């Protein structure tokens, strides 16, 4: 059984650990603290297991932070991203819960932001609804996000006014997920 003989702070949040006077590993400081490593402590089987759990938690949080630094995500989207990165299920669930509790992940905020972004890019309610459902949001969150948007009829009319009341515009609106009612309202009677 090895004994921790030194803990040397390294760059940022890392600690170089020595066992029995020899360099062993450089670990995240949060994992060292969570596992309770200290000079003079034996690195027995139970402490090694605790260190492994702490490392998985820290790595999952780092991966979650990295995923969220690129763009906002839903709870389900963050969990899926962590799964793709190979984060174990329990560490993944803990990381998602932590990020949610701290406010880094908020499905209502994500739904409103994503819906507004898609609407600004010219998408209709059905396309927005489909996208939000694919992001793992529930029906209530989707409906709330859609209710916060300008009415679909107005958005369709704005696009038609800019593009002209043509068959091509009708096809474009249909392809962007606008309802038949919104297309008819926006284009009026096409010849």
Number of alpha carbons in the 13 Å side-chain half-sphere of residue 34:
17
Question: Each residue of 63-96: pLDDT tens digit?
Answer: 999 999 989 999 999 999 999 999 999 999 999 9
Q: Which domains does the chain possess?
A: 2-101 (1.10.10.10), 106-149 (1.10.10.10), 151-191 (no CATH)
Question: Each residue of 100-123: pLDDT tens digit?
Answer: 999 999 999 999 999 999 999 999
Give percent of the chain with pLDDT exceeding 90. 92
CB burial of residue 125 (10 Å; 0-12, 13-18, 19+): buried
Q: 15-34 as b/e, with b when 16 or more CB fall inside 10 Å?
A: bbbbbeeeeeeebbebbbeb
Mean residue pLDDT of the chain comes to 94
pLDDT recorded at residue 51: 94
pLDDT recorded at residue 188: 82
Residue 31 pLDDT greater than 60, yes or no: yes
Question: Each residue of 160-179: pLDDT tens digit?
Answer: 999 988 999 999 999 999 99
pLDDT band for position 60 (cuts 50, 70, 90): very high
Q: 103-124 as b/e, with b when 16 or more CB fall inside 10 Å?
A: ebbebeebbbebbeebbeebbb
- Is 136:77 a contact under the CB 8 Å cutoff? yes
pLDDT recorded at residue 191: 47
Residue 189 pLDDT greater than 70, yes or no: no
**pTM as predicted:** 0.81
Task: Over range 43-58, report the average pLDDT.
Answer: 93
């Amino acid at each position: 059984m090895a004994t921790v003989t030194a803990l040397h702070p390294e760059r940022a949040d890392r600690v170089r650990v020595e066992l029995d006077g020899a360099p062993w590993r450089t670990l995240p400081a949060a994992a060292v603290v969570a596992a309770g490593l200290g000079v003079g402590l034996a690195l027995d089987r139970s402490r090694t297991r605790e260190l492994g759990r702490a490392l998985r938690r820290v790595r999952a949080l780092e991966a979650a932070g990295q995923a969220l630094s690129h763009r906002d995500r839903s709870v389900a989207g963050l969990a899926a991203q962590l799964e793709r990165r190979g984060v174990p299920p329990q560490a993944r669930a803990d990381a998602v819960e932590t990020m949610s509790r701290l406010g880094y992940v908020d499905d209502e905020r994500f739904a409103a932001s994503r819906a507004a972004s898609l609407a600004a890019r010219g998408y209709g309610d059905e396309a927005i609804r489909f996208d939000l459902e694919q992001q793992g949001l529930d029906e209530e969150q989707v409906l709330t996000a859609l209710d916060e948007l300008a009415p679909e009829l107005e958005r369709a009319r704005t696009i038609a006014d800019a593009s002209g009341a043509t068959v091509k515009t009708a096809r474009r609106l249909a392809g962007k997920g606008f309802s038949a009612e919104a297309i008819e309202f926006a284009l009026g009677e096409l010849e």
